[in-house]
Amino acid sequence: MSSESNTAKTNKGFLGTLLSLFDIRNVIGSLLAVYGVILLLMGLFGDPEVDKTGGPNANLWAGIALLVVGAAFIAWGVLRPVVPDAPHPTKEK
């Protein structure tokens, strides 16, 4: 019986890790952060877009905003993770 409880704990740990990894908050946060890094680098090292936007560097500011929002989503997923429900006990005959 202890072997079964160890297996249940291992499965719950694996399921919790899997749920945490593929939580929609982490996926969205990671995508926003990747796009934010790309835009930030384009804003820093790309052609100056000042003439097209009328003053501010749009890529730079959009990249910073996406990084902040992406970090907030990832922090939300880490600070309040998805907790799987406990398995229901089965009745043995």
The answer to pTM > 0.75 is no
Instruction: Write out pLDDT tens, residues 44-61.
Output: 998 876 667 778 888 999
* Radius of gyration, CA atoms only, the chain: 22
Dmax (CA) of the chain: 78
- What is d(CA 1, CA 15) in angstroms, rounded to the nearest whole number? 21
Instruction: Write out pLDDT tens, residues 7-53.
Output: 545 555 776 676 777 789 999 999 999 999 999 999 999 887 666 77
Q: Encoding tokens for residue 16?
A: 């919790």
Q: What is the DSSP string of 16-68?
A: HHHHHHT-HHHHHHHHHHHHHHHHHHHHHHS---HHHHTSS-HHHHHHHHHHH
- Length of the chain measured in residues: 93
Q: How is the chain split into domains, by residue range?
A: 19-79
